[in-house]
Structure 1
Amino acid sequence: MNPSTTPPAATPAATPASDAATRALADAVREIEHHVAAAGWDAPVRVFALVRTQAALAAEPSLAAQLTPQTLAAAQAEPWHLTSIEQEGLPDAPDLETLLAGLSWPQTVDGVAVTAERVVLPPAAEAQMPADPDEALAWLLAHPDREDVRLAVGVLREGPTWCAVRQRAHDSDDQVGQGADVVPGLLEALRATLA
Structure 2
Amino acid sequence: MGRVTEPLPPHPATADLADAVREIEHHVAAAGWDAPVRVFALVRTQAALEAEPGLADQLHDDVLAAAGSAPWHLTSIEQEGLPAAADLEALLAELSWPASVDGVAVTVERVVLPPEAEAQMPRDKAQALDYLLTHPDRQDVRLAVGVLRDGPSWCAVRTRANDSDDQVGQGPHLVPGLVAALRSTLD
Report the TM range for the smaller structure's normalisation.
over 0.9
CA deviation profile, 1:51-102 (whole Å, cap 9, x unmatched): 0000000000010011000000000010000000000000011110110011
Query: CA shift at 1:12, angstroms?
Result: 2.5
Within a 5 Å distance, the mapping from 1:21-170 to structure 2 comes to 21-170=13-162
From 9, 13, 21, the counterpart of 1:14: 9
Highest RCO, 1 vs 2 (Cα 8 Å, sep ≥ 6): 1
Query: CA shift at 1:158, angstroms?
Result: 2.6
Query: CA shift at 1:133, angstroms?
Result: 1.0
**Structure 1, unaligned runs of 5 or more:** 1-10
**Structure 2, unaligned runs of 5 or more:** 1-5
Query: CA shift at 1:118, angstroms?
Result: 0.3
Aligned match of 1:4: none
Distance 1:50 1:97 in 2: 20
Distance 1:12 1:62 in 2: 42
How high is the TM-score relative to the length of structure 1?
A: 0.92
Distance 2:121 2:88 in 1: 21
Query: CA shift at 1:13, angstroms?
Result: 2.4
State the number of aligned residues. 182
Query: Percent identity among equivalent residues?
Result: 75
Distance 1:65 1:58 in 2: 13
Distance 2:82 2:126 in 1: 26
Distance 2:132 2:158 in 1: 19
Amino acid aligned to 2:105: A
Aligned match of 2:183: 191
How high is the TM-score relative to the length of structure 2?
A: 0.96
